Amino acid sequence: MQHALRLDGVVKRFGAMTAVDHLSFAVAPGEVFGFLGGNGAGKTTSLRMVLDIIRPDAGSIEVLGKPPGRESSRHLGFLPEERGLYRSMTALETVVYFGRLKGMTAGDARAKGRELLDRFGLGANLKTGVDKLSKGMAQKVQLATAVINAPRLLILDEPFSGLDPVNQGLLEDEILNAAKGGAAVVFSTHVMQHAERLCDRLLLLAKGAKRFEGTQEAARATLPARLDVVARQSPAGLDGVESATAKGEVGEGWTAWDVRMAPGRDPADLLQHCTMAGVPLRRFEQHRPGLHDVFLHIVGSAEARA
């Protein structure tokens, strides 16, 4: 099996509204895949189809080489966006229950459940009723239910929301460990810093349709380059420069400029041009855009067009 998850031309409509629009992507074992999009982009709807909670109107889905359903669910882990646990169970009972559902023996599920809850800082709460746990603690119990079976495909819908920074770090470690162990991990988030730290590849969704899929570097490269330049004369008008804004004098006739390249133009060409033309430069430094900027650029413009 080449891919842990594969969607091909998947469509989901609710009445006249197309929530997921011909969506195709694939995730390989050992890969951390960020599934990113704004509110209402169609992330949860897509993930619910992967989990066989709802069915697509068109297209096909393969989970661990099979159609979504019972057969693949044993090797699947899922943290839903809407958290909810059986309130009458203790933390350990809850995790063991899910382990049993995934086909583990009672002994294995108990041992693994204890180990996980201990690792998540809940060692003293094994016998606490989940209705007595704080929201973040309950969320960690739910995370334990998602990973107890050492899933080959781990799907996390907005897993970071509701966790404090320490627990967000713990979750990041858990995601990276799962991938290191060979699992494919797909997670949705609005928070680009998590995506930045974790994703091997990412997909940007807007209004149900894919706007970008690829590595972080490829995502950054979709933005026109931006540079800090210190020069004696304005770089505006030089080859490939879209705009140059003076930021201030820095002494002895030198000025700092915020330079924006035209889309697709390479700053290296500008540097070469300046060298050849004898344009004196004291500083020439490219900004590394964050995924936040990429998100606004790709998703923002897609939404503005719609």
Residue ranges in contact with ligand ATP by CB under 6 A: 14, 19, 37, 39-45, 81
Nearest distance in Å: CB 56, ligand ATP = 13
Q: How far apart are CA 272 and CA 74, in angstroms?
A: 57
Coil, strand or helix at 238: coil
Nearer to ligand ATP by Cβ, of 37 and 289: the residue is 37
Residue nearer to ligand ATP on the CB measure, 46 or 90: 46
Q: Tell me the angle at which helices 106-119 and 91-101 cross, rounded to the nearest 10 degrees.
A: 130
The amino acid present at 219, given as its one-letter code, is A
For ligand ATP, the closer CB: 125 or 168: 168
* Least Å from the CB of residue 46 to ligand ATP: 7
Look-up of token digits 């009445």: 15
With left for phi above 0 and alpha for psi between -120 and 50, is residue 56 left, alpha or beta?
beta
Residue 302 beta carbon to ligand ATP: minimum distance, rounded to whole angstroms: 13
Give the nearer residue to ligand ATP in terms of CB position, either 4 or 41: 41
- What DSSP string describes 74-125? TTEEEE-SS----TTSBHHHHHHHHHHHTT--HHHHHHHHHHHHHHTT-GGG
Q: Who's near 235: CB < 8 A, 6+ residues apart?
A: 229, 241, 244, 257, 259, 270, 274, 279
* Nearer Cβ to ligand ATP (125/188): 188
Please state the closest distance from residue 58 (CB atom) to ligand ATP, in A. 16
